[in-house]
Structure 1
Amino acid sequence: SWRAGDERSSPEEATKARGVRSEEATLPGQQQEELRCALDLLSVGDAARPESENVGEESKGIQESPGAKSGPTAGEASRPGPGARAAEPAAEPTKAPFASREREPEPDFYCVKWITWKGERTPVITQSENGPCPLLAIMNILFLQWKVKLPPQKEVITSDELMAHLGDCILSIKPQEQSEGLQLNFQQNVNDTMMVLPKLSTGLDVNVRFTGVSDFEYTPECIVFDLLNVPLYHGWLVDPQSPDVVQAVGKLSYNQLVEKIITCKHSSDSNLVTEGLIAEQFLESTASQLTYHGLCELTAAVKEEELSVFFRNNHFSTMIKHKGHLYLLVTDQGFLQEEGVVWESLHTVDGDSCFCDTQFRLSPVLGKSAAAVASSRHTHSQVDQDYMVALSLQQEQGQGPSALSDLELARQLQQEEYQQQRPAPAWPGRAG
């Protein structure tokens, strides 16, 4: 089916582009099939040629858009980047017209995991790959808030269905202000949000600033979070106790900082060169995109029992704060059948964590399916084990101290463990 605005060429246009007369498109079945095979072979031959031989008249008319920059260097390309676009898939090469017409893209399917959330059976959307899908993060919040519901027998859902539910939810929002001007502004925001919705299943323009956990460079995509009243956070902050880094990074966004590093590297001013090196070292040393200062600020900024979206490493996660602790919703499809694995603690910057159930109790021994997925994870550090002990004691006592005190307790337990169990010296001739 051909839709208005479809980027693909119609069969007639594709035939003309190949230099084939329209009369040949009406050949008998056998000859038409032979012609189709010949065109496929021709497309393969074109793809095998060097780029210099494949430049046609159409490519000559393509110009670089205003403000476009040259591609990053190899070192810059390897650096994790939350700017420009959050891991949106690269455009695929143009395929043969018949192939593109016959093989329609398959819709994305997601498995539905049913959990008991605050006494009510609630769906959670899982994913098989750890991709940059803000659609799932937002929709899972709406499911946990019971603003969107699914039939109880629902086991699989498509991205189109999720998009339809999200669109209905947005259209059902009513403006809080009654003035005509604010209502017009609200309606414009709704229209802008509906235009942005298709990007939610691929990637969003997200560009963090290193000054605060809620600081992002404003883009049209941010309207989605504002309209749904869903907070968006990150934890990639500069430590204020590092004045050199604070001066080098300043109030720049990620994209601006990368541009500054490139400019400073080619500067004749030694001070600027030094600033560029300091900024580059900051990005490399915080490649996890979460700093200890950012984690502390994040814990302090998020409200108790608040559902939000956490952005890190080009991935969007559903986050909640419960009794002073931060948790991320587990959406890995490998835990689909594990009812006791719902939340994952966020208390370290190196990825170590522990799993909890819907009531934020530490999960028991994982089942076989979950263990197979979890086997690829790194072994939990001693800090993680101490944190689990501290969390268990807190749950047994029914207390909810602040997250910072729990971290301090974990570090204290780790230090005591280190003092009590110092490693024995290795025997001569043996590997340490």
Structure 2
Amino acid sequence: MATTTNHETRTAASASASAVWPLKEIIYPPHSDRRIKIVYQRRNGPCSLLAICNILILRGDVEIQPPGRKTASYEYLSSLVADFLVTKHGGSAAGNEGDLTSALAVLPSTQEGMDLNPLFTGMSSFRPEGSGGELQLFELCNILLVHGWLVDPQSPEYDIVAKAQDYDTALNMIVAGEEASEAQISTKAPDDAIGSSPPAPDEDTHLRDGLVLRQFLEQNPTQLTFHGLWSLFSLSDGLYAFIRNSHLSVLYKCQNPQLWMLVTDSNLVPEPSIVWESIEDVDGADSRFVDSHFFPSSTIGGDYSGYIPADTRPPPPTSEYENE
């Protein structure tokens, strides 16, 4: 088991203290005059923390202050979330104290990422890890965590994928299938002689399950299936934490119906009209950018993935802002 020295601890703490993320002003809800600051991500930064903070900001549960602030540190953002949780749940029944403690305990882990294991059979189903503090953090923030890595119940592979349930188990079953294949090869006589032992039923099952699961994972490399995409369209209007490609984003579902992801790439901070990106398909090939009012937009600098002509305007969202 790896150990952490005092020097490493001090170094990590220093790096955490110096980490800051840029802020950008947008308007939300669309067609209003409410200006807010959202947090943008550098490198492969703390997408979990930023998604949680940005949803709380969009809903009006927390606010970046002062208005002229241009960056935010982990300490500042985590204190916003912690203060919100304590204010909202600090006076709850004693039975909820453990949940609040677990949720607060995982806040530091949001700097590097959270261990979220989606189940292939449910859009909002995840396997708890450890104390379950990761899932409790979202629950206590009243944020629904969703994904689209779903197997179609009508597909021939459903029973096997449903048996695996999640990615980690699927990998173990694929390995078991490979081992079963090697065992079958090694037990055969050199010339496949008559009288060689038939494969054990368990070996056949492991081999079949492993092949089906490997195909399912290879056919859905973006962690979003067509069934998952249509399931996301069934969501009620609102803001969600959306995990895809091991990245957590803010998902906005509105009455159009349309799905939008909040753009938080720090390279686009200087682009005032790039605020939301559409989810059109499972691989992102047809995505497009819009501004705070959901009018088509493009980068100031010219060509960029997601550019669309300015004269093609999708109907803007009609859902009313709700403090969910």
| TM-score, normalised with respect to structure 2 | 0.80
- Of the candidates 296, 301, 319, which is equivalent to residue 251 of structure 2? 319
CA distance in 1, matches of 2:268, 2:245: 21
Equivalent residue, structure 2, for 1:410: none
Higher normalized helix content (fraction of residues)? 1
SS of equivalent to 1:321: strand
Q: 1:233 aligns with which of 146, 161, 167?
A: 146
The offset of 1:271, in angstroms, is 3.7
Corresponding residue SS for 1:288: coil
The residue that corresponds to 1:224 in the other structure is 137
Q: Distance in 1 between matches of 2:85 and 2:213?
A: 40
Matched, 1:188 2:110: no
Structure 1 residues 218 and 258: CA distance shift in structure 2, 3 A: same
Structure 2 residue 61 is matched with structure 1 residue 147:
yes
Q: CA RMSD in A?
A: 2.8
| Cα deviation code 1:279-313 (max 9, x no counterpart) | 1111111111001110001111x211x11100011
- Contact 2:89/2:100 (8 A) holds in 1: no
| Counterpart pick for 2:34 among 113, 120, 131 | 120
* Residues 55-204 of structure 1 mapped to structure 2, 5 A cutoff: 104-105=14-15, 107-118=18-29, 119-131=33-45, 133-149=47-63, 150-174=65-89, 183-204=93-114
**TM-score (structure 1 length as normaliser):** 0.61
Which of 224, 240, 250 is residue 162 of structure 2 equivalent to?
250
1:38 paired residue number:
none
Q: Which consecutive unaligned segments of at least 5 residues does structure 2 have?
A: 181-198, 320-324
* Cα deviations by residue, 1:49-92 (Å, 9 ceiling, x for unpaired): xxxxxxxxxxxxxxxxxxxxxxxxxxxxxxxxxxxxxxxxxxxx
On the 8 A contact 1:131/1:315 being kept in 2, the answer is no
Give the structure with the larger strand fraction.
2
> Partner of 1:328 in structure 2?
261
Question: Out of 348, 364, 373, which is 2:281 matched to?
Answer: 348
Q: Please give the secondary structure, in 2, of the residue aligned with 1:361.
A: coil
1:240 CA displacement:
2.6
- Pair 1:212-2:122 in alignment: yes
Give the residue type in structure 1 aligned to 2:110. Answer: L
Once residues 132 and 248 of structure 1 are traced to their aligned partners in structure 2, the CA distance between those partners, rounded to angstroms, is 34
SS in 2 for 1:260: helix
C-alpha distance in structure 1 between counterparts of 2:207 and 2:217, whole Å: 16
* Whole-angstrom CA distance in 1 between matches of 2:221 and 2:144: 23
**What is the one-letter code of the residue matched to 1:257?**
A
Secondary structure of 1:366's match?
coil
Aligned residue number for residue 187 of structure 2:
none
Unaligned runs of 5+ in 1: 1-5, 11-93, 178-182, 401-432
User: Against the structure 1 CA distance between its residues 175 and 161, is the aligned structure 2 distance closer, same or farther, given a 3 Å change threshold?
Assistant: closer
Residues 190-214 of structure 1: CA distance to partner in whole angstroms, max 9, x if unpaired?
1111111111111111111100211
The equivalent of 2:196 in structure 1 is none
Choose the corresponding residue for 2:227, options 293, 310, 320.
Answer: 293
The count of aligned residue pairs is 284
Quote the Cα distance in structure 2 between the aligned partners of 1:250 and 1:127: 34
- CA shift, 1:266, in A, is 1.6
Alpha-carbon offset, residue 131 of structure 1: 4.2
Distance in 2 (CA, whole Å) between partners of 1:313 and 1:116 is 28
Moved over 6 A (4+): none
Higher Cα radius of gyration: 1
Partner of 1:392: 313
